[in-house]
A = this chain, B = another copy of it.
Amino acid sequence: MNVTTKGHYGLMAMAELAMHHGEGPVPLKTIAENQGLSEHYLEQLFAPLRRAGLVKSVRGAQGGYLLGREPKEITVGDVLRVLEGPLAPIECALDGPLEELEHCTNPLHCLVRDVWVRLHRVIEQTVDGITLQEICDRAREAQARRNLMFYI
Q: Which residues of A contact B (CB under 8 A)?
A: 1-3, 7-8, 11-12, 15-16, 19, 34-35, 76, 80, 84, 87-90, 101-102, 106-112, 114-116, 118-119, 122-123, 125-127, 130, 135, 138-139, 142-143, 145-146, 149
A contact patch SS: helix
Q: How many Å lie between the Cα of A106 and that of B87 in the bound state?
A: 27
Q: Can you list 20 A-B pairs, Cβ within 8 angstroms, ordered by A? A: A1-B80, A2-B2, A2-B89, A3-B90, A3-B116, A12-B108, A12-B112, A16-B108, A19-B108, A35-B109, A101-B142, A102-B142, A102-B146, A107-B142, A110-B142, A111-B142, A112-B135, A114-B138, A115-B130, A123-B123
Write out the residue numbers on chain B whose beta carbons fall within 8 Å of the beta carbon of A19: 108
Tallying the copies of this chain within the complex gives 2
Write out the residue numbers on chain B whose beta carbons fall within 8 Å of the beta carbon of A114: 138
Q: How many Å lie between the Cα of A28 and that of B140 in the bound state?
A: 56
* Contact of A107 with B139 in the complex, beta carbons under 8 Å: yes
Among A8, A119, A127, residue most surrounded by chain B Cβ atoms (within 10 Å): A119
